[in-house]
Amino acid sequence: MDYIKYKLFLFLILFSTSAVSLEVTVYIPIYEPLSKTVFTPISGSSNIIIDRKDLEKYENTPIHDILDLESGIKSRSIYGSNSSGSKTTLDIRGMGAQAKSNVLILINGQRLNNIDMSEIDFPSIPIESIDRIEIFKGNAASVLYGDGAIGGAINIITNPEISKKNINEVILKTGTFN
């Protein structure tokens, strides 16, 4: 009987010390919120504004990647995940395959979505010319903008002073696969 207690005691000591030596410290990065949530009296909706100061943090990032950082918004390119972002669909609140016909993209309040519901070429919009991006999730968008905004709407407001300037710029990017 004492021999079994001795083996059990020895077993517990051996394995308890190894468990202590396997402690791992995990550091979780602290993220600042990208945008500001605006509360509206319309129930079932949330409005988010990404202002110029927030956009300057992501200077050379395409618009669809910046919007992808927001909760409830997913960008999908028809050319795959490693594409440049041309022909991208934005999915708000899980609209899925119907996102093209239920999410409205506007520039200064004017519709950017084509009538044939084709994808939008986001890289053609220079990030430097954007003053703020207003995101309307849910039924507030269909109340404000009408047809095609059941899932939500994204209104890109440009800065009129920068739009008048003649700006030439060359951006070079390099990278590897893995």
pTM above 0.75, yes or no: no
The more confident residue out of 175 and 56 is 56
pLDDT score of 178: 63
Of 94-103, 135-144, 155-164, the poorest mean pLDDT is in 94-103
For the stretch 28-64, pLDDT in tens is: 666 555 556 555 555 656 788 888 888 888 777 888 8
Q: Look at residue 19 and tell me whether its pLDDT is greater than 60.
A: no
pLDDT score of 80: 65
CB of 141 within 8 A of CB of 73? Answer: no
State how far the Cα of 165 lies from the Cα of 62, in Å rounded to an integer: 21
pLDDT score of 20: 47
Q: Look at residue 171 and tell me whether its pLDDT is greater than 80.
A: no
State how far the Cα of 105 lies from the Cα of 99, in Å rounded to an integer: 11
State how far the Cα of 10 lies from the Cα of 55, in Å rounded to an integer: 61
Q: Look at residue 90 and tell me whether its pLDDT is greater than 70.
A: yes
State how far the Cα of 142 lies from the Cα of 23, in Å rounded to an integer: 52
Structure token digits, residue 142: 């269909």
The pLDDT confidence band at residue 136, using thresholds 50, 70 and 90, is confident
Helices (H), 57-172: 63-68, 99-102, 139-145, 160-164
Identify the structural domains of the chain with CATH numbers, from first to last.
36-164 (2.170.130.10)
CB of 67 within 8 A of CB of 74? Answer: no
State how far the Cα of 135 lies from the Cα of 48, in Å rounded to an integer: 5
State how far the Cα of 30 lies from the Cα of 37, in Å rounded to an integer: 19
β-pair partners for 120:
88
Q: Look at residue 68 and tell me whether its pLDDT is greater than 80.
A: yes
The more confident residue out of 36 and 70 is 70
Residues in the chain: 178
The more confident residue out of 54 and 163 is 54
pLDDT score of 44: 59
